[in-house]
Structures are given as structure tokens and as C-alpha cells.
């Protein structure tokens, strides 16, 4: 028997733990080399764990939902075994014994009798744990196959006993005194019980990504002096240019010309003029970045993720559109890599794709500013004393007032407005 171990992949330096999602195979299943066995979720990405060799899974160490660390043992594969073949006589692991026990009991007696005789029987590891904690046989209810007591059942019993409050007998109290001292609580009325019936609730744990997002948002609000400035953008020039060039652009580059490339280019245009918008705080120092790594907020089934456009100032409109489309597909499939999510000096979040009219975005630490874009709507505007209809968009930029003054923030947003209302500025960098 040649055993190969399946371990947790190497995690990022900033990630200490991960969560196992769901095993795609079970003990006894045959697997091919590089076949995906389970997905591992960190607070940033979901990673796939492939089979390091072909063979048969003989043991699964960690079940679904377990918290694991890098290089932790997850399962074992026998490269010489054949799926469906009898299990080897020795050595027999706890997981293999648990898998073989139902078959053995079925061979000795009918299922009904087996269920009765195995109920309350502790597995070896469970029996040892019961002895260590001085738990009497039969005192722990079994949830395993045919009612057998598992190690998990004993752990629950031990923790429950430790957490149970100590009951101390109190002196007897006359019935009249008890009636006087204790508050009178009436039972719910029949009508109230009827109103509360039929209202189901579901409690699910946060994913690691959702918990991490919550942690970072609270951190941002507690450590940054966040202020938001707004401006309105006439999107007609960009929309006209996009309409004129869209067919030729798609034919030439194989990707549609969207609005995000204009937004990213306008943001970089403003960051060059006001470098503090592209800076970050490190203790008592301000770090001015000589590069422009723009994060693009992307929605995914797991929650909001922010992959990074590296050196966005050097990217063409086509390169930006292709990369954003790639990020969207990867986010949907949970394939974004750790390197694609790390870093970033400024973020662009386009809530307008979902219909948002106005928001105050929260800074993504350690960045110092974030641009929020909203839905473009036709609005009545006054131009040269005349009321005209224009497609308007409200831009919101939140910034860290510790290092960014209102002047830089407002002028930075004005620079974006001017670039979008006269897109030729983006071509000539003026």
C-alpha cells in the first residue's frame, strides 16, 4: 500500500487560516491525478485542492466546514488500491474503521438488529475520550451510524458539562412570599401566537470573505477620517464617443467598449495631478506611490471583491476592458488568485450598474481615497440660461482627511469631471 497525503495549499502571508467548503469525493472513491477534491476558502479567495496522485481515498482527516492552516493534512490516497476492492487488514485507521463498520454489522445481522445492538457503542477514540473525562458508558447520546457514539459526541458532552451552570439549592420560600416577590409573566395570547406562526428564519455563518470585508470596513471607519465630496458629470460626450467607436472597437480588439475604461482613465488622470489621492498612511508617514494600481470593485456570489489593475496608467482602453471582463469571470467562478487581490493604491466602485443613485463609499485600507460611480439618468440642466436634458451621473469620492485636504479632493474630482466631459483630454493628458 502506497499512501500519498493531501494537504492544504500554501496560504498568503497575511492569511493564517482557511475553511474547507465541501468534499467532492468520499472515502472509497477513486480519483485521478489533479482531480479537484475540495475547495478551500480564505478571507480573500477560494482555492482548489487537487489530488496529488491517482488512487483511492482511504481516509478523510478534516470534514466539511473545518478550519485549517497551511500544509495541514486533509486526506490520504492509496495509489495502489482499486475502488470497490476489500479494505486492507492493517493498518486500519479510525476513519477507515468507521467506513467499514456498517458493512461488517450488516454481514452479521439484519439492519434492524444491527441498529439496536450498535446504539450507544462508543468508537475507539470516543471511548478513550470518555474514560479521560470520567464519563460513564451510556451517558453520551450517539449520532453516528446506527447510534454509535463518535468523538464529536463526547466533545459536545464535555463542553456542555463544563458550560452548564452550577445549581445550588436555595432555602424553601413560603408560597405567599414567592407569589409576592416573583414577577407575574402571562403566557402569550392565542392571537399573538397565531401572528408569530409561519415566519421562518434561517441562520447561516458568514463566509470568510464576508467576515473579512466586515472587519476591514469597520477598521476603515474607525481609523480613517472619512469625508466625501460630490460632483455631477455630463456623460453625453463619453456616450457619444462610445456609440461612434463601439463597433470598430469590438471588431479590432475582440471586447466591448464599456464605461469602466473611461472611468479608470479619468481616475488615473486625476491621480497624476494630485498624487496625495494615490498615497497611503503608514504610521506617521505618508507613502506616495509612483505607480497607479487601481482596484476595481466586482460583485461575486461570495461577496464584494476588489481585483487590481496593475500599472493602469500604462494600459490601453482595450487592455482595461479585457482585464475587467477577465476579473468578472474569475470572480463569478471563484478563480481569482491571491496576487490579483493584493495591493492597490486607489479604488473605483461602480454601483451604477445596480441602479445606485447616490452613495458614500468607504475607503479600502490602506488606500486613502475611493471613487463611487452611480447610475446615469436624464436630468433637466440649465445651460446658458436654457433648460436642457442631459444624461447626468453623480460621482462621489471619499477620502482620508488626515492626509488629503478638501482642496485636493475637490480639485481631483473636478479633474475627473473635466476629463469625462471632454474625453480628448485623456488622449493628450491635459
Q: Would you identify the CATH topology of the domain 1-91?
A: OB fold (Dihydrolipoamide Acetyltransferase, E2P) (2.40.50)
The pLDDT tens digits for 18-39 are 888 889 998 889 999 889 898 8
| Annotation says 269 is catalytic | no
Which range among 79-83, 167-171, 199-203 shows the weakest confidence by mean pLDDT?
167-171
Closest CA to 75 of 91, 62, 92, 94: 62
Q: What is the pLDDT of residue 153?
A: 74
Cα–Cα distance, 373 to 266 (Å, whole number):
12
Taking residues 82-96, what's their average pLDDT? 51
Higher pLDDT, 366 or 338: 366
Taking residues 390-397, what's their average pLDDT? 97
- Burial (CB count <10 Å: 0-12, 13-18, 19+), residue 295: buried
Q: Which three cell numbers stand for residue 7?
A: 494537504
Judge whether residue 246 has pLDDT over 90: yes
Cα 300 from chain centroid (whole Å): 9
Greatest C-alpha distance within the chain:
96
The pLDDT tens digits for 280-329 are 999 899 999 999 999 999 887 777 789 999 999 999 999 999 999 999 99
What mean pLDDT is reported for the chain? 82
- Ranges 195-209, 214-228, 259-273, most confident: 259-273
Judge whether residue 375 has pLDDT over 60: yes
Question: In which band, very low, low, confident or very high, does the pLDDT at 248 lie, cut at 50, 70 and 90?
Answer: very high
Run of H or E including 171: none
Contact 93, 58 (CB under 8 A): yes
Q: What is the pLDDT of residue 146?
A: 65
Question: In which band, very low, low, confident or very high, does the pLDDT at 104 lie, cut at 50, 70 and 90?
Answer: very low
| Annotation says 405 is catalytic | yes
Q: What is the pLDDT of residue 181?
A: 52
Give the 3-state secondary structure percentages of the chain, helix then strand then coil, rounded to 5.
Answer: 40, 20, 40
Contact 259, 249 (CB under 8 A): no
Taking residues 208-230, what's their average pLDDT? 85
Is the pTM above the cut of 0.75?
Answer: no
Tell how strand 36-41 and strand 67-68 pair up.
unpaired
Run of H or E including 399: strand 386-400
Cα–Cα distance, 226 to 103 (Å, whole number):
63
Judge whether residue 100 has pLDDT over 50: no
Q: What is the dihedral of CA 179, 185, 191, 193, to 10 degrees?
A: -120
Cα–Cα distance, 358 to 232 (Å, whole number):
11
In the chain, what are the domain boundaries? 1-91, 225-428
Q: Helices in 28-185 by DSSP H: which ranges?
A: 94-108, 111-118, 124-132, 151-163, 175-181
Q: Would you identify the CATH topology of the domain 225-428?
A: Chloramphenicol Acetyltransferase (3.30.559)
Higher pLDDT, 270 or 143: 270
Give percent of the chain with pLDDT exceeding 70: 78
Give one DSSP letter per residue of 5-46, joined into a string.
EEEPPPPPTT---EEE---SS-TT-EE-TT-EEEEEE-SS-E
Given 132, 405, 422, 429, which residue is catalytic? Answer: 405
Q: Which three cell numbers stand for residue 16?
A: 493564517
Computed on alpha carbons and rounded to an integer, the radius of gyration of the chain in Å comes to 31
Taking residues 86-97, what's their average pLDDT? 46
Higher pLDDT, 163 or 352: 352
Amino acid at each position: 500500500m502506497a499512501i500519498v497525503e493531501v494537504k492544504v495549499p500554501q496560504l498568503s502571508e497575511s492569511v493564517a487560516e482557511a475553511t474547507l467548503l465541501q468534499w467532492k469525493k468520499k472515502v472509497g472513491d477513486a480519483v485521478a491525478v489533479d482531480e479537484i477534491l475540495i475547495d478551500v476558502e480564505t478571507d480573500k479567495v477560494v482555492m482548489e485542492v487537487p489530488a496529488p496522485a491517482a488512487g483511492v481515498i482511504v481516509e478523510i482527516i478534516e470534514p466539511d466546514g473545518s478550519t485549517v492552516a497551511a500544509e495541514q493534512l486533509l486526506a490520504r490516497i492509496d495509489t495502489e488500491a482499486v475502488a470497490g476492492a476489500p479494505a486492507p487488514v492493517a493498518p486500519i485507521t479510525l476513519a477507515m474503521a468507521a467506513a467499514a463498520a456498517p458493512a461488517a454489522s450488516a454481514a452479521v445481522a439484519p439492519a434492524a438488529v444491527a441498529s439496536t445492538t450498535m446504539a450507544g457503542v462508543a468508537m475507539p477514540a470516543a471511548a478513550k475520550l470518555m474514560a479521560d473525562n470520567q464519563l460513564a458508558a451510556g451517558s453520551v447520546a450517539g449520532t453516528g451510524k446506527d447510534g454509535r457514539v463518535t468523538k464529536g459526541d463526547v466533545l459536545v458532552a464535555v463542553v456542555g458539562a463544563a458550560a452548564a451552570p452550577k445549581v445550588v439549592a436555595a432555602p424553601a420560600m413560603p408560597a405567599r412570599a414567592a407569589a409576592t416577590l416573583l414577577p407575574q409573566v402571562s403566557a402569550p395570547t392565542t392571537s399573538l401566537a397565531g401572528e408569530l406562526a409561519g415566519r421562518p428564519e434561517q441562520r447561516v455563518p458568514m463566509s470568510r470573505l464576508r467576515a473579512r470585508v466586515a472587519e476591514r470596513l469597520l477598521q476603515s471607519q474607525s481609523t480613517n477620517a472619512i469625508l466625501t465630496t460630490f460632483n455631477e458629470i455630463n456623460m453625453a460626450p463619453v456616450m457619444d464617443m462610445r456609440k461612434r467607436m463601439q463597433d470598430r472597437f469590438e471588431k479590432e480588439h475582440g471586447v466591448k467598449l464599456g464605461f469602466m475604461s473611461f472611468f479608470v482613465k479619468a481616475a488615473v488622470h486625476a491621480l497624476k495631478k494630485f498624487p496625495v489621492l494615490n498615497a497611503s498612511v503608514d504610521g506617521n508617514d505618508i507613502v506616495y506611490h509612483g505607480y497607479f494600481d487601481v482596484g476595481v470593485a466586482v460583485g461575486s456570489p461570495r461577496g464584494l471583491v476588489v481585483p487590481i489593475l496593475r500599472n493602469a496608467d500604462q494600459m490601453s482602453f482595450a487592455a482595461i476592458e479585457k482585464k475587467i471582463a477577465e476579473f468578472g469571470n474569475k470572480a463569478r467562478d471563484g478563480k481569482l488568485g491571491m496576487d490579483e487581490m493584493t495591493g492597490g493604491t486607489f479604488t473605483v466602485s461602480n454601483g451604477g450598474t445596480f441602479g445606485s443613485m447616490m452613495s458614500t463609499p468607504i475607503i479600502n485600507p490602506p488606500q486613502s481615497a475611493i471613487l463611487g460611480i452611480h447610475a446615469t439618468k436624464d436630468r433637466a440642466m440649465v445651460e446658458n440660461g436654457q433648460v436642457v436634458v442631459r444624461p447626468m451621473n453623480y460621482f462621489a469620492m471619499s477620502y482620508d482627511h488626515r492626509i488629503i485636504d478638501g482642496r485636493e479632493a475637490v480639485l481631483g474630482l473636478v479633474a475627473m469631471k473635466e476629463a469625462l466631459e471632454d474625453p480628448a483630454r485623456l488622449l493628450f493628458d491635459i
